[in-house]
Amino acid sequence: MKQNCDAAGHALSLAANFSLPDECRAVAEALFPPGGASPGRSPSAIGDFAAALGIEGEHRRLVKAERNTEEMRKFLGHFQNNLDLLIQKTWVEKTEESFKEKLQDKVPPFVGLIVKGDFRLATEEFGVILNELAYLLFGSQSRRDDFAEYTFRIDIEMGLFWWYGANLGGIKPDATGSSVDDESLWALLLIGICYLTNF
C-alpha cells in the first residue's frame, strides 16, 4: 500500500516559502512544529487542532472510544460512506473515471488497517488517499507548491485541513530515530477521519 506515482503527479506538499495565516499559526505549529520535527504528541495540541477544524467534540469522544466496538464500526462506516459519496460526486473527464474507482477501492483496506490497529501503515495510506482526493477536488492545482496557500485563501478551516494532510503524509522518524507512538498516530489520523466524515 505504498504511495504510488500516478499520472496525476506528486504528493501534497508545502512550498518552502509558505507561511501559515496568523490566526491558526500557534495551533498548527503546536501539532506540526516547523522544520519537520515529530508531530506534537500532547493531547492538548491534538485537541486544539481538532477544535480549530470544528470537530473537537466528536474527536474527543472517539479518541477515547475502544476501536473494536459497535460505536467505532458505525463511525468508520459513516466515514467510508461519506468519502465514497465525496469521490462519486467529483466531476472528472471520462479518461479519469478509473482514477476515482481506484481511490474508492483504497478506502476499505484503509479502514481495515484502523480496525487492526496498524496506525503506522494507516497513516501512510491516509496520506495517499488525501493526495488523490485533493486531485479529484482541486485538479492540477493540488500538485502545485502553493496548494496550501490556495486552500487557505478559499477558507481558513479548509486550508488548515489540507495543510494537515501535507504534514501527515510526511511523518517519519525524527533524527534520533524515534517516531510517533500508536496512540498519538491514532489521534492524528482521527482528526482527518472526523473532518472528512463531516465534510
Residue 6 resides in a domain: no
Number of domains in the chain: 1
Residue 112 resides in a domain: yes
Q: State the DSSP string of 45-98.
A: HHHHHHHHTT-HHHHHHHHHS-TTSHHHHHHHHHHHHHHHHHHHHS---GGGHH
Using CA atoms, how far apart are residues 193 and 199, in angstroms rounded to an integer?
10
Range of the domain at 137: 22-197
Using CA atoms, how far apart are residues 155 and 177, in angstroms rounded to an integer?
36
Residue 11 resides in a domain: no
Using CA atoms, how far apart are residues 191 and 164, in angstroms rounded to an integer?
9
| Sole residue written with cell 500538485 | 143
Residue 80 resides in a domain: yes
Per-residue pLDDT of the chain (199 residues; tens, 9 = 90+): 333 334 334 466 666 667 888 899 999 999 988 876 667 678 889 999 999 999 999 999 999 888 778 889 999 999 999 999 999 887 777 777 788 889 999 999 999 999 999 998 999 999 999 999 999 899 889 998 889 889 999 999 999 999 999 888 777 654 444 467 888 899 999 999 999 999 8
Residue 114 resides in a domain: yes
Q: What is the DSSP letter of 40?
A: P
| Sole residue written with cell 480496525 | 115
